[in-house]
Amino acid sequence: MAIDYGKLLDFDIPEVRQTLTKRDTAFYALSIGFGQDPMDTRQLAFVDHRRDLEAVPSMAVVLCHPGFWLRDPRTGVDAVRVVHGEQEIELHRALPVEGALAGLTRVTGIVDKGAGKGALLYSEKQVRDRDGALVATTRSTTFLRGDGGFGGPAGPIKAPHPMPDGPPDLTVDLATRPEQALYYRLNGDDNPLHSDPGVAAKAGFPRPILHGLCTLGVVTHALLRGLADYRARALRTLKLRFSAPVFPGETIRTEIWQSGAFRARVVERDTVVVNNGFVEIGSK
C-alpha cells in the first residue's frame, strides 16, 4: 500500500491524556541513564521520587506520547523501515513532575525524496497542563525509508544547524546499558525495532538499536552536565539530527561548543550518531 499524500497529511492522531506521577518522571530519568554514578548527588534530584524531584527536559518527547501510530496500515507507511531523523524541543515552562497533561500530535508536512530514496514526515506535538497552558512543543522529522516515489512534493527540507569549525570546548562521555532499550520502550515507544532481533534484521540492522529519543535523552544529560551544572530549568530549546544508530551498551561521547552547538559519537566505533545539534541554555 503506497502513501496517499493527502490522507497521511490529515491523518487523525487522537489526543492523549496522561496523569503523570513522580514515579513516571523518575523512571524516565533512569531509562536514559541517570543514576549510573551512585556518588553523583546532583543526579539524585532526577531519580529519587521521594526528594524534591526535577524533570529531565527531554522528557517532553515521551509526555502524552501517541505511540507508534505509523504502523497503522491506513497510513500506507512501511513501518519496519521507519527511523527517527530529527528532533526539536521547545520548553515554554519547566516540565511538571506530576499532574494531568494532554498532548495533541499532528502531521505538519511530508516530503517525497523520490523512488528508492524514501520520504520525510514532519510532525508536531503540543503538551498542555490541566489548565490548558502550553508546557512544551516538540517537533520531529521521521525518515520513511521505504516510502519514496508516491508523487508528493519534493520540499521544503529543513536546513540543519551549522556546525562550528575547530575542536569542541568540552566533551562528556556517558555509557549506555545492554538492556537500556528494553527499559526505554516502557515510556511508550514500543517499536519492535528496539527489542526484536528479527524485526531489526528486516530493517537492515544486525541487532536491535537504541531508540533515537533515548540517544536524545543521553545527550541531554551530557548537555545539562557540561553547560548547566544539572540546572534543568535552564534548558530552553534543543534541536538535533540523528545521523547513525546507537547499539545498546555503547558509549556516547557528546562534543559541545560554548556557542550551544553539539554533536555526539559512539566511542567504540568512532561514528557520529547525532549531528547539527544546538541547545539554548538560560540563566535559571
- Tens of pLDDT along the chain (284 residues) come to 689 999 999 999 999 999 999 999 999 999 999 999 988 999 999 999 777 899 999 999 999 999 889 999 999 999 888 888 999 999 999 999 999 999 999 999 999 999 999 999 999 999 999 999 999 999 999 999 999 999 999 988 888 999 999 999 999 999 999 999 999 999 988 888 899 999 999 888 999 999 999 999 999 999 999 999 999 999 999 999 999 999 999 999 999 999 999 999 999 999 999 999 999 998 76
Q: What is the pLDDT of residue 50?
A: 78
Tell me which long-range contacts 229-232 makes (C-beta under 8 A, separation of at least 24). Answer: 229/42, 230/42, 230/43, 230/45, 230/46, 231/284, 232/46, 232/54, 232/55, 232/56, 232/57, 232/94, 232/95
* Burial of 79: CB neighbours in 10 Å, binned 0-12, 13-18, 19+: buried
Q: Is 107 helix (H, G, I), strand (E, B) or coil?
A: strand
pLDDT in tens, 167-183: 999 999 999 999 999 99
Describe the crossing of helices 212-228 and 22-31 by its angle, rounded to 10 degrees. Answer: 90
Q: Which of 171, 182, 249, 254 is nearest to 220 (CA)?
A: 254
Cα gap 253→267, rounded to integer Å? 6
Which residue out of 24, 78, 147, 189 is catalytically annotated?
Answer: 189
Question: What are the residue ranges of helices labelled H in 135-258?
Answer: 180-184, 197-202, 212-228
Q: What is the pLDDT of residue 284?
A: 65
Give me the number of domains the chain comprises.
1
Instruction: State the cell numbers at 111.
Output: 516530503
Q: Which of 193, 162, 133, 194 is nearest to 260 (CA)?
A: 162
Q: What is the pLDDT of residue 1?
A: 62
Dihedral-angle region of residue 60 (phi above 0 means left; psi in -120 to 50 means alpha; beta otherwise): alpha
Q: What is the pLDDT of residue 188?
A: 85
Residue 134: φ, ψ to 5°: -75, 125
Determine the structural domain holding residue 198 and report its residue range: 5-281
Q: What is the pLDDT of residue 222?
A: 98
Q: Is 77 helix (H, G, I), strand (E, B) or coil?
A: coil
Which residue out of 24, 65, 78, 194 is catalytically annotated?
Answer: 194
Cα gap 114→119, rounded to integer Å? 7
Q: Which of 230, 262, 217, 237 is nearest to 63 (CA)?
A: 217
Q: What is the pLDDT of residue 164?
A: 95
Cα gap 30→7, rounded to integer Å? 38
Whether 65 is a known active-site residue: answer: no
CATH code of the domain containing 51:
3.10.129.10
